[in-house]
Amino acid sequence: MIFYTEAALQQLSIHKTGNKLLDEPLTLSQQPLLIMDETLQQLLKQYFLQPFEKVNEIYRLQHAAGDITFNEVYSFATKIFADTDNFHAGSRQLATQLYNCASHPKIKGGELYIAYFTSLQIEGENHEAIGIFKSESKEPYLTVQQHTQGFNLGYEAEAINIKKLDKGCLIFNTEKAEGYKVAVVDQTNRSEAQYWIDEFLQLKIRNDNFTQTQQVLSVYKTFVTEKMDETFDLQRTDKIDLLNRSIKYFKENDAFDMDNFGMEVIGNEQGFKLFKQYKEEQEQHLDAPLPNQFAIHNQAVRKQARIFKSVLKLDKNFHIYIHGNNELIEKGFDEERNMNYYKVYFREEK
């Protein structure tokens, strides 16, 4: 979804934001950084942008009051997009805003990089983009220098691993009225650093086909694994079958239709009614309602399929993978051994 092969890093400013609650300082640079070394340019692009290659969810900047212009990040980004001469001043404002949001005692300080890219591709189109990246984790690195008699060995006590970006976001200069297209990365503990997404950026997920596909599958998975037990006496094999049928439906159809899904996948009028009620309840906790019809996004299906469990784990001895008809497996209890058992029917062994 996001590709940076053609992207160019045009401007870069670096600041350091501490934890305001702990009276750690905010250090703002006086001017942007000029990077002439081509190798360093490529390393920075890799560090900043490579983590976004696997990001599918797209967000919007928002504000709780409903007026997007009240979102500080949106306002600073808009000024930079309007005139890149505002870049460094805008980067200082962004750093100050992040510092003011650091109100949790466990928030780590670190370097804040504000970057300006051109020709950064998202969803098949190249756009200018503002990148905001925070480096919190430091690691020791060994250095080796060769000389005439052999080698010297040294180290950097607090170096940055360019394969581990702690936090980052990309704000693309497109769809301004809706809050721009925004991609985000946060590798830290969300309970300690939710300030990055909710307080600093103030994001809401974009309600597109990817999001709709992912959220309906997620809601259905929770419904099957946790909610249906309140009404139905389901075996683990029944739950796996219901999950497998949902993935099969999403893989074989181009569009989701709620009534058709209920008939083909759930196949029980009472169960379908309960699912619709549960879906409506969950919509209250989501950023956007889930429509009853939408185009299915294949990438979202593949992503969700990886977390749908189709395996029975029996003590530490056996795993049974169920991919098809659950009527070919029976559960029983052996009174002599005082143990459960499964009986599996098959035509040939491969």
Report d(CA 61, CA 309) in Å as an integer: 34
Report d(CA 325, CA 249) in Å as an integer: 15
Percent pLDDT > 70 in the chain is: 91
| Residue pLDDT, tens place only, 323-340 | 666 666 677 777 777 877
Confidence of residue 104 (pLDDT cuts 50, 70, 90): confident
Instruction: Tell me the two tokens of residue 157.
Output: 């006590």
Asked if the model's pLDDT at residue 186 lies above 80, the reply is: yes
Q: What is residue 208's predicted lDDT score, i.e. its pLDDT?
A: 84
Instruction: Tell me the two tokens of residue 284.
Output: 């209250």
Confidence of residue 119 (pLDDT cuts 50, 70, 90): very high
| Residue pLDDT, tens place only, 200-246 | 999 988 888 888 898 899 899 899 888 888 888 887 778 888 888 89
Asked if the model's pLDDT at residue 98 lies above 70, the reply is: yes
| Residue pLDDT, tens place only, 26-62 | 999 999 999 889 999 999 999 999 999 888 789 999 9
Q: What is residue 325's predicted lDDT score, i.e. its pLDDT?
A: 63
Q: What is residue 335's predicted lDDT score, i.e. its pLDDT?
A: 78
Mean pLDDT score across all residues of the chain: 87
Asked if the model's pLDDT at residue 2 lies above 70, the reply is: yes
Cα 99–chain centre separation: 23
Q: What is residue 220's predicted lDDT score, i.e. its pLDDT?
A: 92
Q: What is residue 319's predicted lDDT score, i.e. its pLDDT?
A: 63
Asked if the model's pLDDT at residue 64 lies above 80, the reply is: yes
Cα 6–chain centre separation: 24
Report d(CA 185, CA 197) in Å as an integer: 9
Q: What is residue 210's predicted lDDT score, i.e. its pLDDT?
A: 85
| Residue pLDDT, tens place only, 272-314 | 999 999 998 888 777 667 889 999 998 888 888 877 766 666 7
Q: What is residue 105's predicted lDDT score, i.e. its pLDDT?
A: 82
Query: For the ranges 254-258, 267-271, 323-327, which has the lowest average pLDDT?
Result: 323-327
DSSP label at residue 234: -
